[in-house]
Amino acid sequence: MIDFIKQPWPWYFSGTMIVLIMLLLLFFGKSFGFSSNLRTMCSMIGAGKKVKFFDFNWKDQIWNLMFLVGSVLGGFIATNYLSEPTPLQLSAATIADLQQLGVSFDGGLNPSGLFSLEAMKDFKTLAVLLSGGLLVGFGSRYAGGCTSGHAISGLSNLQVPSLVAVIGFFIGGLVMTFLIMPIIF
Closest CA to 22 of 12, 13, 14, 32: 32
pLDDT at 167 over 90: yes
pLDDT digits (tens, 9 = 90+) for 110-135: 888 888 888 888 898 889 889 988 88
- Give the total residue count for the chain: 185
Domain ranges within the chain, ordered by starting residue: 1-85
Helix (H) or strand (E) holding 156: helix 155-156
CB 6 within 8 A of CB 82: yes
Q: How confident is the model at residue 90, as a pLDDT?
A: 87
Q: How confident is the model at residue 70, as a pLDDT?
A: 94
Closest CA to 139 of 112, 169, 181, 174: 169
pLDDT digits (tens, 9 = 90+) for 145-162: 888 888 888 888 889 999
Closest CA to 168 of 137, 147, 138: 147
